[in-house]
Amino acid sequence: MAGLIAITRDVSPSIVDCELTHLAREPIDVERARAQHSEYERALERLGCTVMRLPAGSDLPDSVFIEDIAIVFDEVAVVARPGAVSRRAEIADVAAAVSRHRPVVHIAAPGTIDGGDVLAAGRSVFVGRTTRTNDEGIEQLRTALAPCGYCVRPVAVRGCLHLKSAITQIDDRTLLANRRWILEEEFADFDLIDVDTAEPMGANIVRVGPNLLYATAFPRTLDLLQGRGYAAVTIDVSEIAKAEGALTCCSLIFQSSRS
Ligand code: CIR
């Protein structure tokens, strides 16, 4: 029977050596990060996902942020080539996992893409041009997705790590955004809801089928969402956030292929 699958990856003890771009390094309590990650997985299960957790892999500090390593569409899984060299050793295990569910296409050198820069909204696939994702990678993604009828749309990102730090999807028509980090005209086909100005990191929300999963760190934006009629399940991921990860980063969520 078809249903939602969420592939996750355990928190590595080496997360303390994670890549950092915008945040200062703070001590990370690995056990606390693991407990939060388990809560995240439980929330995904409650929202209807079958969670499949991969082991962290030895000495892969950022492997919990599995979103960056693959982008799973209904027709194909694109295995990314992360912009941070330290993260390329994460590829093999994730490629093997997604290949059980979809045909796989790989982004090849010199192309780079982090999955966190890819926002698929219907047949539009927005891709942030960032320090992690280059034009060669975007062209390879376009070529991989063209036969499936997707339109790849490169977009500007400034002030944050990934496109999905700045904007994610709430429903088919609506995106949650920090407009300071994107060019709103590039998303003119959608309605935008703004994060509260006191919560610039609040634009990352996970869509799980008809439901939403959101971080407790952004109560003002949650209020705004509730005022617009959206309900969200909330969890605390404060320890994981010290590694510059947000909620979408910790899973690959997709429909299981029908058998
Ligand atoms: C990194 O810099 O690659 C990790 N420390 C954080 C990655 C977060 N991923 C995401 O936003 N998609």
Helix (H) or strand (E) holding 7: strand 4-9
Distance CA 81, CA 111 (A): 7
Question: Distance, CA 259 to ligand 1 centroid (Å)?
Answer: 33
Could you tell me what percent of the chain has a pLDDT over 90?
97
Q: Residue 57's pLDDT is what?
A: 84
Q: What is the mean pLDDT of residues 252-258?
A: 89
Q: What string of DSSP letters covers 235-253?
A: E--HHHHTTT--SGGG-EE
Q: Is the pLDDT of residue 236 over 60?
A: yes
Confidence of residue 259 (pLDDT cuts 50, 70, 90): very low
The one-letter amino acid code at 100 reads R
- Token readout for 89 is 């050793």
- Token readout for 233 is 């399940």
- Token readout for 146 is 């063209």
- pTM, full prediction: 0.97
In 3D, which of 40, 85, 83 has the Cα closest to residue 60?
85
The one-letter amino acid code at 18 reads C
Q: What is the mean pLDDT of residues 133-159?
A: 98
Q: Residue 71's pLDDT is what?
A: 98
Q: Can you name the residues that pair with 120 across neighbouring β-strands?
A: 125
For CA atoms 251, 259, 125, 71, the dihedral sign is: positive
pLDDT, one tens digit per residue, over 102-127 is 999 999 999 999 999 999 999 999 99
Q: Residue 2's pLDDT is what?
A: 67
Our answer to whether residue 162 is catalytic in this structure is: yes
Residue environment code for 70-102, b if the CB has 16+ CB neighbours within 10 A, otherwise e: bbbbeebbbbbbbbbeebbebbebbbebbeebb
Q: Is the pLDDT of residue 212 over 70?
A: yes
Confidence of residue 156 (pLDDT cuts 50, 70, 90): very high
Mean pLDDT of the chain: 97
Least confident of 52-61, 104-113, 126-135, 163-172: 52-61
Q: Residue 1's pLDDT is what?
A: 47
Do the Cβ atoms of 71 and 98 come closer than 8 Å? no
Residues 6 or more apart whose Cβ sits within 8 Å of residue 210: none
Distance CA 213, CA 232 (A): 5
CA-based max dimension of the chain? 47
What lines the ligand 1 site, CB under 6 Å? Answer: 18-19, 21, 62, 65, 67-68, 84, 87, 116, 161-162, 164-165, 243-246, 249
Our answer to whether residue 249 is catalytic in this structure is: yes
Which residue out of 65, 117, 167 has the highest number of ligand 1 atoms within 8 Å of its CB and is therefore the one to mutate?
Answer: 65
Domains of the chain, each with CATH number or no CATH: 4-16+28-253 (3.75.10.10)
Q: Residue 173's pLDDT is what?
A: 97
Distance CA 214, CA 237 (A): 9
Residue 87 alpha carbon, nearest atom of ligand 1: 3
Do the Cβ atoms of 114 and 62 come closer than 8 Å? no
